[in-house]
Chain A
C-alpha cells in the first residue's frame, strides 16, 4: 500500500485526477490487487478460523440445497423440472453469485460508509474509489459458496440426461462467468443507489441474493410479468435461466429464440455501462457528513 501512495502526488480534488483513461483502469486493478492481498494476509493470520468460515459458508448453502431436496421427497417435478435440472440452475447461479460476491462483495457497505463519513478516507487515496470499495474487507471465505455451487453443478451435469454438444459444453463455464459479471454490475448499481438512499444495503441485497433465490428455480413457476422484468429490465434471466434452458433443450417461457442463450457475455457488458455511470454520478453527488 505504502508504495502506491508514494508514487504520485495526492489528488487535490476528487474528480479531477488527471490520469489517462487506460492508466486509470490499470491503477484501479493494481490498487484492488494490493488491498485484496492485504486482506488475504490478515485473514490467513487465523487459519483455523478461516477454514471454519469457508466450511460454514459452504454449509449454509448446502442446507439451502437440502431444502430443495426435501421438496423433491414429496414431488417428482417442480414447474415441470426434475431435481437434476433444478440442480443445474441452482449450482450455476450459486457459483456466479459466489464469484461476484468474492470479487466485489462488500460494495453494500457503501451506505454505512456514507453514513459514518469513512468514505472520505477513500476519496483522498490515489486509487479509484470503486476499486477500494470492491476490495473492502475482501472475504476469501466466500470461496465456500463458489465451491458448493460448483459441487452441485458437477452433480447436476453427471446426473442430467443431456445430449452434450460443443456449444452446450462451452455454454456452462461462459454462463458462470457472464452470470457473475451481471451480478457484479447489479451490485455496482446498487452501491450507487446507496449514495442517494443512504443505508439501503438491503435493497441491493434483494436484487442479488433475491435474484439468486429466484434463479435457483425454473422460470416456469413465476408470473410472466416477473419474467419480463428480469429479462428486459434487470436482466438476471441471462445469469443462468436462458443459457440453462438451451443446455436442457427447453423453450423459453417468454418465447425468445434459442440463440439468446449465447448473449449473456454481451448483456453483462451492456449492463455495466449504466451501472458504472450510476456509480460515477453517485460518487459526484457525495457530500461528506463532515464530522
Chain B
C-alpha cells in the first residue's frame, strides 16, 4: 500500500512540474466553458427543463465538466499512450519484473495524475464559471462528499477502460488508431458533448447504462441532487462500482493473457 501511495504521489508531482501547461489548460477549459455555456443558455431558453435540468443546473453541468475533463482524461491524455510505448519498446519487461502489480501501479500513477489535474485544472474554471453565471452548486457538504466519492469511482472506471487500451498494444503494436476511436466514443457517451439525459428514447437509456456514463454523467447528477435519496445515491455509486469492478477484472484477464505473450530478448 505504501508503495502505491508513493507511486501516486509521483504521478501528482510529475504533472505539477508543468506549470505553463497547466495554466494554458486552465485558460482553454475556461474559454470552452464560456462557449458551451452560451450554447446551453440558448438551448435551455428554448426548452426550459430539458433533460430534467433547469438552466442553472445545465450551466453547472458545463462548468463542472470543464473542471473534470482533464482529470478523467475524457478528451484525451492520460497514461495509455505511455503504456503502449513501453510495450512497443519492450520496456514493459522491466515493469513486469518489479515487485508490484502492473495494473495497481498504473492505477496509482493515474490517480495521482488525476488528483493534480483536479486541483490544478479544476478549481479555477469552476470559480470563473460561478462568478460569470448563476450556477446550482449545492450548499450541503454531504452532497459534495458524495460527489467526490463518485468522482473517484468515475476516475477508476476511466482508468480501467484506458488500461484495456494500453494493453491492446501487446497485439496491435501501434495504438494511435484505437486511441482515436476510444476518444470519440468517450466524448460522445460520457456526456462531454451533451448531457446524457438529453439523449432521446431507448438510445438515451442505452447510453446511460454504459460505462462512460459512470465517468461524467453520474458524478454530475450526484452533485446536482438528482440522486437525493439515500437509496438513489447508493444506486448511482453502485452502478459506478459495478462497472469499475467489471472493467478492472477484464483488465486483469487481459493482462495475464498479455504477459504470457511477452518474450524478453537479451541485448
Contact = CB atoms under 8 A, between A and B. Distances in A.
Interface of A: 46, 49, 52-53, 56-57, 59-60, 63-64, 66-67, 70-71, 73-79, 197-203, 205-206, 210, 213-214, 217, 221-223, 226
B20 A213 contact: no
Contacts of A213: 32, 35-36
A56 B181 contact: yes
B35 A210 contact: yes
B102 interface: no
Nearest to A60: B184
7 contacts: A53-B176, A63-B193, A71-B43, A78-B39, A78-B42, A79-B42, A217-B35
B47 interface: yes
B31 interface: yes
B32 A210 contact: yes
Contacts of B43: 71, 74-75, 78
Given A52-B177, A53-B177, A74-B198, 5 more contacts: A60-B187, A78-B46, A201-B21, A206-B28, A210-B32
Contacts of B27: 202-203, 206
The B interface, classified by DSSP as helix, strand, loop or mixed, is helix
A201 B22 CA distance: 11
Contacts of A214: 35
B24 A202 contact: yes
A67 B24 contact: no
B34 interface: yes
A57 B183 CA distance: 11
Contacts of A79: 42
A199 B39 contact: no
Contacts of A221: 38-39, 41-42
B50 A74 contact: yes
B246 interface: no
Contact of A203 (B18, B24, B41, B177): B24
Given A202-B24, A217-B39, A217-B42, A67 B188 contact: yes
B188 A198 contact: no
Q: Which size class do B's interface residues fall under?
A: 35 or more
A12 B38 CA distance: 52
Contacts of B21: 199-202
B23 interface: yes
CB-CB nearest 5 A-B residue pairs? A221-B42, A202-B24, A200-B24, A206-B28, A67-B193
Interface string B8-44: 0000000000101101110110011011101101110
Contacts of A199: 18, 20-21, 24
Contacts of B38: 217, 221-223, 226
Which one of B21, B24, B181 has the greatest number of beta carbons of chain A within 10 Å?
B24
B24 A201 contact: yes
B57 to A, nearest CB: 16
Contacts of B193: 63-64, 67
B184 A202 contact: no
B18 A210 contact: no
B200 interface: yes
A205 B176 CA distance: 20
Given A64-B193, A199-B18, A73 B47 contact: no
A70 B18 CA distance: 38
Contacts of A77: 46
B180 A56 contact: yes
B199 interface: yes
Nearest to A223: B38
A70 B194 contact: yes
A71 B194 contact: yes
Contact of B184 (A49, A63, A73, A222): A63
